[in-house]
Amino acid sequence: MPYQAPRGTHDVLPDEVHLWQFLELTFAQLVESFGYREIRTPAFEDTELFVRTSGDTSEVVTKQMYSFRDKGDRELTLKPEGTAPAMRSYLEHRLGQTGQTTRLWYTTPIFRYERPQKGRYRQAHQVGLELVGSPSPAADAEVIELTVRFYEELGLHGVTVLVNSIGRAAARESYCTALLAHAEPVLRDMETEARAQVERNPLRLLDSKVPEVIEVLRDAPSIVDYLEPDSRAHFGQVCQILDEQSINYTPAPHIVRGLDYYTDTVFEVQSDALGAQSSLCGGGRYDGLIQAIGGSATPAVGVAMGIERAILALQATENALDAPTPDYYGIALDEASARQLRQVATQLREGGARVVVDLDPRSLKSLLKAADRSGADQALIIGESEVSDGTVIVRDLRAGTQVTIPVTQLQHSATL
């Protein structure tokens, strides 16, 4: 094979694209029913946008960005996530005014130089939404509720919603000091670079995969005990609204998420079906991001769901959708028949049918084989006598029976 898709990327083939379309349509209809409006941002942005927002200690920025210098000497990066670009656009085009909420949604590729494995890619795709301008706990709850409803509408079971609050800067600072002190026995043995990285952002310890770190953190202090009263009250109200809306969730003090822009609420949804990459989505409140990129202080909260991971989870369910097949496969036995077949196909398509027309004349036997292979329910067969009678043979490919119908009476629903 001379060329293959680059490592960590994949093609979405015709046999699975219907799952992507189903997922994207389900998401769009759901979020539009809550008043979100779609936004599309470029594939690349100024590198600085991501460094400022994701944080220069996050893995996304330190290890995973696809950054390059263009011919005009600009430092650019293929977007590793959708929130910062959406907020850059929000500011650039003044999509919101003080005191007003703006609801945005998107579907986007993201690019991260990660070690590829099942559910983890270098080009992945997300659907996401951002609710900008409201500090209310009801905003956090709306985003979490929407997330849960989305997975429900997809028909995914075995999902767990984990919710936490990581508070504000001051609470995080005192928590980080306590966390570092607690983890000191393992930090002592770490290499200088790894230790320096942990010290720059001790919260990273909480999603460490190193067995010794995981062990020592079993009885680590909990961030919940360090929250300031406002954050504690906010979190309590988010949970109360979720309870009122009958949304099942689990408080999870170890959830911190990998991007540095979060304040207060963070959450993720995990699926049993995914193995190591169990996180279906991640989100939370990010009240400092817009100010960090030059706007006025504006509260915001959002979420992004990995499309590939949702599809893996969907494929693991029993009711995964089958790929759609044609309703009809059209067969013409000569030139004049082909002309009549094209007209019949147009007539049926206007009635909403999916009609594939065979283009290459050969024996009826081979044409019927091609019709079977197409997965169509029925074949339309036209030869010399059908042309002279103005009829078409409609053959049920499953039952092997057929009827001859005048073209004028042929209707998609009537022939089913």
Supply the minimum distance, in Å, between the C-beta of residue 132 and ligand HAM.
Answer: 10
Interface with ligand HAM, residue 55, by CB under 6 A: no
Q: Does 30 bind ligand HAM (CB under 6 A)?
A: no
CB of 299 to ligand HAM, least distance (A): 12
Residue 124 touches ligand HAM, criterion: CB under 6 A: yes
Work out whether 127 is an interface residue with ligand HAM (CB under 6 A): no
**Is there a contact between 24 and 107 (Cβ–Cβ < 8 Å)?**
yes
258 lies in the binding site for ligand HAM (CB under 6 A): yes
- C-alpha Rg value of the chain to the nearest Å: 28
CB 139 within 8 A of CB 301: yes
Choose, by CB under 6 A, the member of 26, 58, 77, 126 that binds ligand HAM.
126
As measured in angstroms, the least distance from the Cβ of 201 to ligand HAM is 15
Which residue in the set 159, 206, 238, 280 belongs to the binding site for ligand HAM (CB under 6 A)? Answer: 280
Token pair recorded at residue 50: 């991501």
SS3 content of the chain, % helix, strand, coil (to 5): 40, 20, 35
Exactly one of 85, 128, 167, 330 binds ligand HAM (CB under 6 A); that residue is 128
Q: Are 252 and 162 in contact (CB under 8 A)?
A: yes
Residue 85 as a binder of ligand HAM (CB under 6 A): the answer is no
What are the strands of the beta sheet with 123-132, ordered from one edge?
Answer: 37-38, 102-111, 123-132, 300-306, 279-285, 265-271, 159-165, 250-251
- The window from 25-33, 154-162, 194-202, 274-282 that contacts ligand HAM (CB under 6 A) reads 274-282
Listed ranges 11-19, 175-183, 276-284, 361-369: which one lies at the site for ligand HAM (CB under 6 A): 276-284
Q: By CB under 6 A, is residue 24 in contact with ligand HAM?
A: no
DSSP secondary structure of 332-380: ESSHHHHHHHHHHHHHHHHTT--EEE--S---HHHHHHHHHHHT-SEEE
Nearer to ligand HAM, 130 or 264 (CB): 130
- 303 sits near ligand HAM (criterion: CB under 6 A): yes
52: contact with ligand HAM by CB under 6 A: no
Q: Does 120 bind ligand HAM (CB under 6 A)?
A: yes
- Provide CB contacts within 8 A for 206, sequence distance 6+: 179, 217, 220, 254, 255, 256
Q: Is 308 in the site for ligand HAM (CB under 6 A)?
A: yes
Measure Cα distances from 250 to 263, 270, 305 in Å: 19, 11, 18
Query: Out of 134, 263, 279, 337, which residue is the one contacting ligand HAM (CB under 6 A)?
Result: 279
Q: What is the largest CA-CA distance in the chain?
A: 91
Contact pick of 83, 102, 263, 391 for ligand HAM (by CB under 6 A):
83
∠ CA 48-49-51, rounded to 5°? 60
Is position 79 an interface residue for ligand HAM (rule: CB under 6 A)? no
Alpha-carbon distances of 314 from 22, 48, 147, 151, rounded to whole Å: 11, 36, 15, 10
The minimum distance between CB 84 and ligand HAM, in angstroms, equals 8
State the number of CA atoms in the 13 A half-sphere of 133 facing the CB: 13
Say whether residue 82 binds ligand HAM (CB under 6 A).
yes
281 touches ligand HAM (CB under 6 A): yes
DSSP H or E run through 393: strand 391-396
What residue ranges bind ligand HAM (CB under 6 A)? 81-83, 112, 114, 119-121, 124, 126, 128, 130, 257-259, 279-284, 286, 302-304, 306, 308-309
